[in-house]
Amino acid sequence: MILNKLKNLNYLLIFILILLSLIGSVGLYSAADGSFHPWANKHLIRFSFFLLLTIVISIIDIKLIYKYSYLIFILCLSLLFSVEIIGVLGKGASRWIHIFGYSIQPSELIKIFIILALAKFYHDLKFEKIGNPLFLFFPAIIIFLPAFLVLVQPDLGTAVSIIILGIAVLFSSGIKIWKFVLGILVTLSSIPFLWNIIKPYQKNRIISFLNPESDPMGQGYQLIQSKIALGSGGVTGKGFLKGTQSYLEYLPEKQTDFIFTLIGEEFGFLGTMFIIVLFFLLISICYYVGIKSIHIFGRILALGIGTNLFIYVIMNIAMVSGLMPVVGIPLPLISYGGTAMLSIMISMGIILNIDLNYNIKKLQNNAYN
């Protein structure tokens, strides 16, 4: 039975995951001035372990995932609450907790489990009740409670991405367009409230985004250096290990949020486009799996996971390109960071599981025919 499941896995998706992680390792090797230590080696080890976890998730009974969806969400929400009590301060925010010697960022994990909880809720809800405003209260709690907890850490970028993701999942569940638009308007109307509670450094990031040259050696420094590095890469790049902005230490956080810039400088437009194409294929697979899913739970899960991946990619690339403020969103499987990778690999395991269930059902139907 297990061998039959392994045989029917989507190996194109697995190949793309491996390819993206290898690209990340190359970038991290370059970020460390041509050394596997301290980032590239850990990146590869983590990916290898998480890939095994992805395979395990892909072959377990999806009914178990469905059954314990709320419990998993509540456990992760508890971790998010615990950040306020035992969280470790780093880079001006308390976002991490230590468990068994490992640092975990619950705000990255909660995104997947929000999708999981919403998928179960709408799977159980009768179709005629989907449009009833009374049945929007529980989904709103699932979305906005974690977003608020993340916002007070403070982590504005992740909080915004959670809200966008939540609204997108509601839309995929069958919420009417006007209610979808209403959700966007409510989110936009909360901007003055958000402006009053975000930290001064976050306000400075937004101001520097609007005019980076106003503080070129302060808040605008990252953005200016990132655009210089991207632009200097040209079509084919300066060559592997030949990026001047990164090697001369002009580019901060080149191993995490700005790794796309490093790759752009060394491998140029062609290198960055190759990465974008890989992500496009990965997101397309997620949406395709969702569209062909045989049940509502799987459809909402897959569409939500695809949207979450899209938000990760578009926000990171827009951030390093100067199209939006610097918000600290990593590039999936390429940026250095354990929790973000874990979150993505768990979600890819779920995608493989949904796709596997469809393939097996299809084979069974063909056998009966």
Per the domain annotation, does 77 fall within a domain? yes
The predicted pLDDT at position 289 comes to 95
Per the domain annotation, does 239 fall within a domain? yes
CB-neighbour burial class of residue 314 (10 A; exposed 0-12, middle 13-18, buried 19+): middle
For 252-261, how does the pLDDT look when each residue is reduced to its tens digit (9 = 90+)?
Answer: 778 888 899 9
51: number of Cβ within 10 Å: 17
Place 121 in a pLDDT band, splitting at 50, 70 and 90. Answer: very high
Between residues 329 and 69, the one the model is more confident about: 69
Domain count, the chain: 1
For 161-177, how does the pLDDT look when each residue is reduced to its tens digit (9 = 90+)?
Answer: 998 899 889 888 877 66
The predicted pLDDT at position 103 comes to 82
The predicted pLDDT at position 213 comes to 55
Q: Cβ distance 267 to 236 under 8 Å?
A: yes
Per the domain annotation, does 367 fall within a domain? no
Q: Which pairs from 146-152 meet CB under 8 Å and 24+ separation?
A: 146/77, 146/80, 146/107, 146/110, 146/114, 149/77, 149/80, 149/81, 149/83, 149/84, 149/107, 150/80, 150/107, 150/110, 151/194, 151/197, 151/198, 152/84, 152/197
The predicted pLDDT at position 300 comes to 94
d(CA 319, CA 367): 50
Q: What does pLDDT average to over the chain?
A: 85
Sign of CA pseudo-dihedral 80, 20, 304, 117? negative
Per the domain annotation, does 334 fall within a domain? yes
The predicted pLDDT at position 362 comes to 73
Place 155 in a pLDDT band, splitting at 50, 70 and 90. Answer: confident
Per the domain annotation, does 368 fall within a domain? no
Place 93 in a pLDDT band, splitting at 50, 70 and 90. Answer: low
Per the domain annotation, does 173 fall within a domain? yes
The predicted pLDDT at position 67 comes to 94
What is the average pLDDT across 225-234?
A: 86
Is the link from the previous residue into 154 a cis peptide, with omega within 30 of 0? Answer: yes
Q: Cβ distance 178 to 187 under 8 Å?
A: no
d(CA 278, CA 309): 12
The predicted pLDDT at position 279 comes to 97
What is the average pLDDT across 226-241?
A: 88
The predicted pLDDT at position 190 comes to 66
Per the domain annotation, does 203 fall within a domain? yes
d(CA 221, CA 202): 14
The predicted pLDDT at position 5 comes to 85
What is the average pLDDT across 234-260?
A: 83
Place 78 in a pLDDT band, splitting at 50, 70 and 90. Answer: very high
What is the average pLDDT across 345-360?
A: 92
The predicted pLDDT at position 167 comes to 86
Between residues 56 and 226, the one the model is more confident about: 56
Per the domain annotation, does 110 fall within a domain? yes
Place 367 in a pLDDT band, splitting at 50, 70 and 90. Answer: low
The predicted pLDDT at position 152 comes to 81
What is the average pLDDT across 273-296?
A: 94
Domain that holds residue 106: 2-361
d(CA 34, CA 5): 40
